[in-house]
Structure 1
């Protein structure tokens, strides 16, 4: 197989999500003019790369350079550099843990705020969180 083939070859990835989440993703994909597969691929890459989601024509909402995004990139680079040392080596997993240590606290705080404002609800019976009746998931693609 040539290196060009490895860039275009596709593999299937399967995951399971609650029905309400799949329905939400389907509606969002339709709004963006994307297939569900394209939507999931784009969202995963967006989460990994912190970039704006392009519309069906490859345009982002703001095609100009986003100074805030550049600032976040610089801040993150500084966090990576400060986590590393010239004498000790850190594995990928150690770096990931060091750089994401506050994500659980941030998620917990955000979910508490959203529940307090009746935008999200938790159901032990259904085993998770969902949008509260009448709440919007946001239309900005993030």
Structure 2
């Protein structure tokens, strides 16, 4: 079995503000980042519509952080879920899959902090800074 392309790409979606607020609240209630929530919901919709050709249903709990461990990342469940979905992976491919998930979560978090005005990007200062500094 060849290794799937695990490169991540950004997808931008425009939607009404009320819908984004609903998605944020639902993601938080499920202990997911916004990216995890959208990926899970899209895959669930694809499965429901018969577009998901995989033989095995993915448990959404395997793709999200453990809500009982604030600040924890549910790494054991994430690794197990990745290997169940993708089959045998080399160490490097497994590391990329786990790191990509973290990058998505970090990207979501920074975007949320910027949207709330708590963090800003400053080219002059060489990167992201807390807005209250």
Q: Which has the higher contact order (CA 8 A, sep 6+)?
A: 2
TM-score band w.r.t. shorter chain: 0.3 to 0.5
TM-score by length of 1: 0.36
Q: TM-score normalised to the size of structure 2?
A: 0.38
Larger radius of gyration: 1
